[in-house]
Copies of this chain bind each other. A is one copy, B any other.
Amino acid sequence: MTTLTRSSKQSLNSPASDQALDQARTALGRTSDRVYLDHNATTPPDSAVLTKLSSWALDWGNPSSIHQHGRGPKTRLREARDSVSKMIGASSLETIFTSCGSESNTMAVRGALSALQKKGDPRRHILSSALEHPSLRRTFDALKLEGYDVELVPVDRSGRVNEKDVEARLRPNETVLVSFMLVNNETGVIQPIKEITRAAKTVGALVHTDAVQALGKIKVDVKELGVDYASFAGHKFYALRGAGVLYSARGAPLDPLVYGGGQERHRRGGTENILSIASLGFMCSRSDEVEGRAETIRELRNYFESRVLLEIPEASITCLESPRVASTSSLLLPGTDGETLLMSLDMDGFSVSTGAACSSGSPEPSPVLLAMGLTREEAQCSLRVGLGWSTTREEIELFIETLKRVVTRLRGLRNWHPSPTEEQVS
């Protein structure tokens, strides 16, 4: 998975001038003049989704209505639920539509604990990590104030939670919930959820996984993972914003987070957002494309990383040796500042990020990278590149040349030079 291809650098070996780049862009027929490499923040709706938008919007009726205007939407809802359920390996009764991944995360944790507390369950110990999405980290912060003992399993620079570290911290009769993400949003590292779940089940703990960054990137089978709850979001998988999913295994305790009518079998109130749900269902009906798309993206990503490592002195790839999804590349570019880098690249027409969009605007370096043991200095020179289904070889070529040029310029401004004692390829 971490083998890099070293081909195809012939044509762009010498840095192109700005003018040459402009010419290249024009030649490539780029009309929007923008290259989007931030697919972890959100994905553009698939072109087929955009085509179907108007027809879905015409099914605006309330699926709870028992007249004709409710029947079309109800059918769309059922079809979407079937298609999502099939893709994640759940039964349709176990698939709950929410409004987003953050809601699914909050709901899983709050809903499980609330239901257990009502039954008089005395367990108050939770295991998770510092790599989790803010929706979980902040839910845990709230739970701490309510008497829960939230323990974060340490993670090293591999970015991978070690199942042994989880196992060692499980407390029989105390650990009530274990929650780890399946794919990290900043590094792309795939966590050993199956192994963690197996360990957690030995003490009877419930298991939740935030699989938001996994859907559409790797095969996700909730039964195979063995988890009780899993969170998903449509807008990370080329569907519209506004549809999330919480998988809740049959029999798993779960109180609603949002109350309402009898929607989602009384588990999530609110008139269903058919337009967004239909778009997610549609994308999930294309699950057989996932593997092939990932393979194409992996080749592009590996090509990109090999070029970066070869051509940008002292650049490194975070979690290079860990199992990662194909689409994420987390770079460290010493001698640059991530924010400045991002803004320079933005001015040159490239959308990338320094970390999670959810935390952007904050001057602090990524808490995820810091939690992995990177120094503040390292975290501050990080850049996240997120490839997607529409990413082309040409975009990657353009991006590499621009990145090299911008890094060189920023390093020059700081009068930074590669350390002479280190090899150029780290």
Contact = CB atoms under 8 A, between A and B. Distances in A.
Interface in A228-270: 233, 235, 240-242, 244, 255-263, 269-270
Given A54-B54, A100-B271, A259-B138, A346 B67 contact: yes
Interface stretch (A6-14, A40-48, A306-314): A40-48
Given A57-B53, A138-B269, A270-B135, A64 B357 contact: yes
A62 B360 CA distance: 11
A142 interface: yes
Contacts of A345: 67
A342 interface: yes
Contacts of A255: 142
A385 to B, nearest CB: 12
Nearest to A38: B65
A103 B42 contact: no
B42 A361 contact: no
Interface stretch (A199-207, A273-281, A284-292, A395-403): A273-281
A89 interface: no
A328 to B, nearest CB: 16
Most chain B CB neighbours (cut-off 10 Å) among A54, A58, A60, A352: A60
Contacts of A42: 60-62, 65, 271
A106 interface: yes
Contact of A60 (B103, B241, B275, B342): B241
A37 to B, nearest CB: 10
Contacts of A334: none
A20 interface: no
Contact of A259 (B53, B106, B272, B351): B106
A342 B240 contact: no
Nearest to A100: B270
Given A65-B351, A118-B145, A351-B69, A99 B273 contact: yes
A256 B137 CA distance: 13
A209 interface: no
Contacts of A45: 57, 60
Contact of A270 (B101, B139, B145, B346): B101
B60 A260 contact: no
B135 A259 contact: yes
A34 B67 CA distance: 11
A353 interface: yes
Given A68-B34, A261-B359, A256 B138 contact: yes
Contacts of A53: 53-54, 57
A421 interface: no
Interface in A77-108: 99-103, 105-106
A273 B102 CA distance: 13
A42 to B, nearest CB: 4
B261 A258 contact: no
Contact of A102 (B70, B134, B269): B269
A258 B135 contact: yes
Contact of A241 (B36, B145, B257, B272): B272
A153 interface: no
5 contacts: A67-B345, A99-B242, A101-B271, A103-B258, A269-B358
Interface of A: 34, 36, 38, 41-45, 50, 53-54, 57-58, 60-62, 64-70, 99-103, 105-106, 118, 133-136, 138-139, 142, 145, 233, 235, 240-242, 244, 255-263, 269-276, 342-343, 345-346, 349-353, 356-362
Given A41-B271, A102-B270, 4 more contacts: A66-B353, A106-B258, A138-B260, A257-B258
Closest 7 CB pairs of A and B: A261-B358, A99-B99, A102-B260, A100-B270, A102-B270, A138-B259, A102-B269
